[in-house]
Amino acid sequence: MRDEAILQHISALVDEEQRVRGQGSTTPTEQERLHAIGDQLDRCWDLLRQRRAKREFGEDPSTAHLRDTDTVRRYEG
């Protein structure tokens, strides 16, 4: 996946997140969706950072991979 495609996916997720939040109060289903969107955003940003780091250090960015949510969560904070 190219950086542009990752950024487009991030943009689409942000748009969906804003749409759901913009409705005011959210249902439990919408809360679950917001949580899932947050997880996907974290994973996509992590992938993009991996690709940029690999490129910066002369490695092949295509070897970066989408990490699982639990792994990405451990990097936060």
User: Residue type at 54?
Assistant: K
pLDDT of residue 76: 60
pLDDT of residue 11: 98
Spatial separation of the C-alpha atoms in residues 2 and 20, rounded to whole Å: 27
pLDDT of residue 25: 83
pLDDT of residue 23: 87
Neighbours of 40 (CB within 10 A): 18
Residue 63, both tokens: 């070897």
* pLDDT averaged per 10 residues, the chain (length 77): 95 96 89 96 96 97 95 78
Claim: this prediction has a pTM higher than 0.75: yes
Cβ–Cβ < 8 Å for 42, 72: yes
